[in-house]
A and B are shown apart, each in its own frame.
Chain A
Amino acid sequence: MVKRRRRRAAPERTVIFLNGRIVGSHPDGKSLANRLRERRRTNELSNQVNVYYNSRLNELHILTDKGRVRRPYIVVENGKSRFTSEIATRIRNNELNWNHLVKMGIIEYLDAQEEENSFIAIKEEELTPEHTHLEVDASNIFGVVAGVLPYPEHNSSPRITMACAMAKQSLGIYSTNFGTRYDTRAYIMYYPQQPLVQTSLYKALNLKDKSAGQTCVVALTSYHGYNMADAIVVNRSSIDRGLHRVGMFKTYETEERMYPGGQKDKIELPTPEVVGYRGEEAYRHLAEDGIVMPESDVSSKDVLVGKTSPPRFLEEISVFGAVEEKKRESSLSLKSGEKGKVDSVLITEGPSGNRLVKVRVRSVKVPEIGDKLASRHGQKGVIGLLVPQEDMPFTKAGIVPDLVVNPHAIPSRMTAGHLLETLGGKAGSIGGLLMDGTAFGGSTEEEFHAILKKNGFDEHGEEVLYDGLTGKQIKVKLFIGVVYYQRLHHLVSNKMHVRSRGPVQLLTHQPTEGRAREGGLRFGEMERDCLIGYGASMLIKERLLEESDKTVQLICTECGSVATHDYARNRDICPICQSENVEPVEISYAFKLLLDEIKSLYIFPRIVLKDKG
C-alpha cells in the first residue's frame, strides 16, 4: 500500500514571514512577491532582500538575514535578458560597472530560497518567456575548483571529478609567505608556470601567481612498454633542467615539558652520563645550546634538538644509598630514511608557556620513477621511465617531448578535453598567446587549426617523429602538443619501504607494523590460506614462525608447563613441580602468550611432549 501523506489545506490568506517570524497575512502572496521584487529592482528596497513564495503552503518568506549564500543572475523579462548589447557597449566604454548593473536591476542576487521560485537559463539562446533569470556566464555553474579546468564540457563527468580531486593535490606555490611559515610539511615548486590554456575563472582568481604545475611537451605514443597502464615516460634531461622539481619543507618540533613535582625537560647537549646516550656521532650537528646549526646537512637519526628528561621513576637509589639524578635522553631526531639541510630554527614559547623549538628541514625532491603526475583532465599517471633526451623521439625541428603518454589512456576515458588542450597548448606556444579554455566557450578547435597552419605546422597537431634510439623515421605521424601537467604530492621517496630485518613488538615478539616503525608487511589470513591451498607447509612455517616470533621455550616433561633456566645454579627447572626434566621446544611466542592468557582465565594448559618421528 502506498502511504498517502495527509496534506494540510493551505490557508486562504498568504501567511507572511519575515526572517522566519510571522508578521501578517495578505490575500495574494504571489503578486505581493512579484511587487516586492520589482521594488528591489528599482532600488526602493535593499538589493539584499530576498523574497520566496511557497505556493503549496501559501507562505511568503521575506529574508533579510545575514549568512545567506547568494549569487548573481541577470534579470530576464518576457524571455528577454535585461543585459542588452547596448549595455554591453556602455560597459566596454567604461561608463558602467558591476555595481551600476546591480543598481539598475539588470543583475540581482538570489539566495537559495528565492532560487526555488526562479527558472534560470544557462545560456541566452535558451531563453523562453517562462524564464526569470539568466546565468551571468554559462561557466558559472562550476565552482572554484572545477572552474579552472579547461574544456570540462569535452570530458566525461567522472574524469572532471577526478581532475578536481587531483588539482587539490598538486604541488606549486601554496602560499606566498612560505619562507616564514613552519608548516609540518610543505612543498614548493622550483619553476611553476601558468598554463597556456586558462579559463576566465583562473584569471579572475589570479591563480597564475600561485600556480601549481608546468607546461610540458607531450607526445601521444608508446615507448618500449614503459608507459603501459598509465605510466608516463619522462625526458630525463628535462628533469635535469628542473622540470617538476619541488622542494620539501618539514618541521620538527619539541618542547621542554613540565612534570608533576616541579621537574622539567632541558634542551641541552646531552652528556655521555645520560641514560640512552646515542653516541657522539649523533650529536655532531648540535651547537652548545643543544640545537642544530642552520644549513647543516642532516640525515636519518641525526639529532636535531638535544633534550634530556628527568627519570621516569622518582628516587632511583644508587648503590651508595644516595639519590642520584639520572637523566633520560629524549632528543628530537630526524626520522629514518630522511635527509636534508636544516633550513631554519625557531625558538619560542609553546601554548603552555614552555620553551618550544621548531626546526625546519629542507630537501629537494627531483622527480623519479614512481612519482605521480596528472593533467587537468583526470589523466593521472606515474613516471615509468626516465629517458635521456638523446633516446627520446624528436621532430624534424628538433623538438623532443618532455612526456610520452600512452594513447590507450584516452579512448575509454573519453577525455577529449585533454586532446583539445594538447592542441591549444601547442597553438598557444607557437602563436605566443594564452588560450581560453573556459567551459561552454573559449577558444575553438578551428582557431587552433588556423594558428598552427599559419605557422607551418600540421593543423591537427600531428608530426613526423624520429626514433631517438635508431634515428629512423617513425612510420606514422604522432600527435604531439603542449599540456599543463601537475605534480601530485604522492612522492615515492615519502612512501618507499622495505624490511629484511628490523624491530619487533615488545608484547608479541612479532615484527612491528608500518613504515614509520620500519615494519614488515603483514602475511595475513588470506595469504596464509593460499599457502595452505598450495600445500606449501614448510613455507607457511617459515613465514609464520621462523620469520616472525619463533622462540625456544623450556617445557617441563612432567607437568607440561613452561619452565625456566636458573642462571644462579645453571640448571633448567620447572617452577611448578620443581622437576629438572625439562626439554627445549620451538614454539611461536604468540603461543606462549596464549598459554599465559589462558592461565589468567584460571585454566591450566599442559603441553604433552612427544618425539617427532
Chain B
Amino acid sequence: MKTTKRQSVKIPPFEAVGVVCAQSIGEPGTQMTMRTFHYAGVAEHVPTGLPRLIEIVDAKKEPKKAIIDIYLKSSYARSRADAEKVAKELASVFVSDVADVEDDLETLTIKVIYNEKDGKAQGVSYSALRKALEESFPGDVKSSEPELMLRPAKETKVAKTGEKKEKKITAKSVRKLTQKVRDTLVRGVRGIHKAVVIKGGEDYFVRAGGFNVLGACLNPAVDQKRIYTNNIKEIERIYGVEAARNAIVREIKDVMDMQKLFVDIRHIMLIADAMTYSGYVKSIGRHGLSGEKVGVLGRAAFEETIKHLINASAFAEEEKLIGVTENIIVGQTVPVGTGKIKLVMKTTKKK
C-alpha cells in the first residue's frame, strides 16, 4: 500500500501525545544552562532558560521583566533618528526623574527644583515640566521664576488649595501629594520605560521595558498591527486567547532557540493548546491543568492528597477510572495505546 507523507505523519489512535510532549520538552530542559543571554539593548536582566520557561508554563500575570517591541510605521522606521525620536516620546519620564521634589510642612508647600543636568539628558525642559505640573494640578502651581529658568536649580512652588471642597490642607495631605507630584508623568507612556532603538532587518523598531500595549498604540508613529510583548496575560486581555496561544508557542520556542535546543514545534503547540483550550490562559500545575483532572485519585496522586480525598468524600464523588494514574493505582490496564484497543468478535453459532 502506498503511504502518503500525510499518512506517515498521522498520529495513531490512543497515542499518549501528552506524555511524549512532556518528555520532549522536559528532557532538553534538563540540559538548559543557567547561563543567560541578554536581550540586545535592554540593560535589565531578562529571565531566559529554565526560569523563563517556568514563568510561561505557570501563566504568571506579569513576567519578571516585561518587554515590549514597538514597531513603527514605515515613514518612521527608516532612519535611526526618527525612531529615536519616537522612542523618546514613548519612554515615560516622571517629575522625580528631572527634578527634586521637597515638601515644606511649615508653609504647606511643595518645592520642585528642576535639575538641569537630568532634564537635558531626558530632553525635558523647564517649561515642559511646568506645563505637565499645571495640567496635573491645575491652579496649584503658584510661584515661578521664569528668569531663572536656565539656572541649574530652579524653584516652582505648588501649593495645595483644595478645589471645590475647600478641604483644609494638612501636613499629611501635603506629604501624600508630594508623592503624587513625584509620580506625575511629564512625558511618555505610563508603564513603558527604558526605550531603546534596535535595527531589525531594514527597519528600526523600539524595544522597551513594560507592556502597556494600548498606551503605546496611541502614538501615531506606532504600527498597531505589529506590536508585541512577552506578557502573555496582557496579550490575552487585549487580543484574546488565540493570540495568547501563539504567544506561548513563540515564547517557549524563543527560550529553546536561545539555548540552542531543538524541540519539535508540535510539542510546544500542544502545550499551548492545553493551556488555552478552555478559552482562557491557565497554568500547568496545581492551580491549573492538573488541578482540574476528573479523577480524585489522579488529583490526590499529584499534590495535596488529603485535601482532595476529604473534599471527594464530602461530596460523595465517584472515581470513574478514566485517567492513567488512577488505573495504575487500582491495578488495571491503562487506557492509552494498546490498553484502549478492544477486540469485538462476532460469534456465529454453528449449526
Contacts and interface: CB of A to CB of B under 8 A. Distances in A.
A543 B23 CA distance: 21
Contact of A534 (B329, B330, B337): B337
Given A533-B20, A535-B16, A603-B310, A588 B330 contact: yes
B80 to A, nearest CB: 33
B180 interface: no
A601 B309 contact: yes
Contacts of A586: 331
Interface stretch (A143-151, A167-175, A481-489, A590-598): A590-598
B2 to A, nearest CB: 26
Contact of B339 (A530, A537, A550): A537
A538 B23 CA distance: 21
A410 interface: no
4 cross-chain pairs, A with B, having the tightest CB-CB distances, nearest first: A535-B337, A537-B339, A588-B331, A603-B313
A537 B337 contact: yes
Contact of B334 (A530, A537, A590, A604): A537
A584 to B, nearest CB: 13
A535 B338 contact: yes
Interface residues of A, number: 26
Contact of A535 (B14, B22, B312, B332): B14
5 contacts: A528-B328, A532-B336, A533-B16, A537-B333, A591-B330
B331 A535 contact: no
Contacts of A530: 23
A588 B313 CA distance: 22
B334 A540 contact: yes
How would you classify the secondary structure of chain B's contact residues: helix, strand, loop or mixed?
A: helix
A601 B314 CA distance: 12
A535 B309 contact: no
Interface in B300-316: 306, 309-310, 312-313
Given A532-B16, A601-B306, A537 B338 contact: yes
Interface of B: 14-16, 19-20, 22-23, 306, 309-310, 312-313, 318, 324, 328-340
Contacts of A532: 16, 19, 324, 334, 336-337
B311 to A, nearest CB: 10
A543 to B, nearest CB: 10
* Residue from the set B22, B312, B318, B332 with the largest chain A CB neighbour count within 10 Å: B332
Contacts of A591: 329-331
A58 B254 CA distance: 57
Nearest to A541: B333
Contacts of A540: 328, 333-334, 339
Contacts of A598: 309
A355 B199 CA distance: 87
A529 interface: yes
Interface of A: 528-530, 532-538, 540-541, 544-545, 550, 586-588, 590-591, 594, 598, 601, 603-604, 608
A544 B23 contact: no
Contact of B337 (A536, A544, A594): A536
A538 B341 CA distance: 11
A18 to B, nearest CB: 50
A538 B312 CA distance: 30
A541 B16 contact: no
A294 B312 CA distance: 65
Contacts of B330: 587-588, 591
A124 to B, nearest CB: 43
A558 to B, nearest CB: 17
A392 B241 CA distance: 70
A528 B22 CA distance: 14
Given A529-B19, A587-B331, A588-B329, A538 B339 contact: yes
Contacts of A590: 329
A538 B336 CA distance: 10
A604 B340 CA distance: 30
Contacts of B19: 529, 532-533
A601 B328 contact: no
A545 B333 CA distance: 10
A504 to B, nearest CB: 15
Given A601-B310, A604-B313, 18 more contacts: A528-B328, A529-B23, A532-B324, A532-B336, A532-B337, A535-B16, A535-B336, A535-B338, A536-B338, A538-B338, A541-B331, A541-B339, A544-B331, A550-B331, A588-B329, A591-B330, A594-B329, A601-B306
Nearest to B296: A605
Contacts of B312: 603
Contacts of A534: 16, 337
Nearest to A586: B331
A603 B309 contact: yes
A545 B335 CA distance: 15
B329 to A, nearest CB: 6
A596 to B, nearest CB: 13
